[in-house]
C-alpha cells in the first residue's frame, strides 16, 4: 500500500467561539447603521413635521419645485401660495420644503 489512510481529526481545544462573540459584529453594524442613517432621518422627519404644523398665513415658503411664494390660505392638507401678484397656486402641505425668514421675498 502506497497511500496511507486519512483519519478525521477532532477540533482543537480552545475558547468557545459561539455565543455572544459571534453576534458582536452584527450588533456593532446595526448600532453604526442606527446612528449614521436611521436616527438622523427620524430627526429630519420630526423637524419637517413641526415646520408644516407651524405653517401660518403670511409665511414665505419654498416648494419642492423651487417656487418661492407667500402663503395666503391654509386648509387641512392644502396650502394656497401666491407666487406673484394675482397668481396663486394650490399645493399639498408636503410640497413645502422650507420656510423663509420674513421679508425675504420682495413685493413688486
Domains in the chain, number: 2
**CATH number, position 107:** 2.30.30.60
pLDDT tens per residue, range 58-73: 999 999 999 999 999 9
Q: 0.85 exceeded by the pTM?
A: no
Would you give per-residue pLDDT tens digits along the chain (108 residues)?
Answer: 678 877 777 666 555 556 778 889 999 999 999 999 999 999 999 999 999 999 999 999 999 999 999 999 999 899 999 999 999 999 999 999 999 998 888 754
Per the domain annotation, does 13 fall within a domain?
Answer: no
Same domain for 60 and 42, yes or no, is: no
HEC per residue, the chain? CCCCCCCCCCCCCCCCCCCHHHHHHHHHHHHHHHHHHHHHHHHHHHHHHHHHHCCCCCCEEEECCCCEEEEEEECCCEEEEEEECCEEEEEEHHHEEEEECCCCCCCC
Per the domain annotation, does 63 fall within a domain?
Answer: yes
Its domain, for residue 77, covers: 56-108
Same domain for 65 and 99, yes or no, is: yes
Amino acid at each position: 500500500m502506497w497511500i496511507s489512510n486519512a483519519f478525521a481529526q477532532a477540533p482543537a481545544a480552545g475558547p468557545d467561539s459561539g455565543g455572544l462573540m459571534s453576534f458582536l459584529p452584527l450588533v456593532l453594524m446595526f448600532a453604526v447603521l442606527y446612528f449614521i442613517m436611521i436616527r438622523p432621518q427620524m430627526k429630519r422627519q420630526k423637524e419637517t413635521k413641526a415646520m408644516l404644523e407651524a405653517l401660518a398665513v403670511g409665511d414665505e415658503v419654498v416648494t419642492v419645485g423651487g417656487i418661492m411664494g407667500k402663503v395666503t390660505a391654509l386648509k387641512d392638507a392644502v396650502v394656497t401660495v401666491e407666487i406673484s401678484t394675482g397668481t396663486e397656486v394650490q399645493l399639498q402641505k408636503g410640497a413645502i420644503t422650507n420656510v423663509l425668514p420674513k421679508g425675504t421675498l420682495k413685493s413688486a
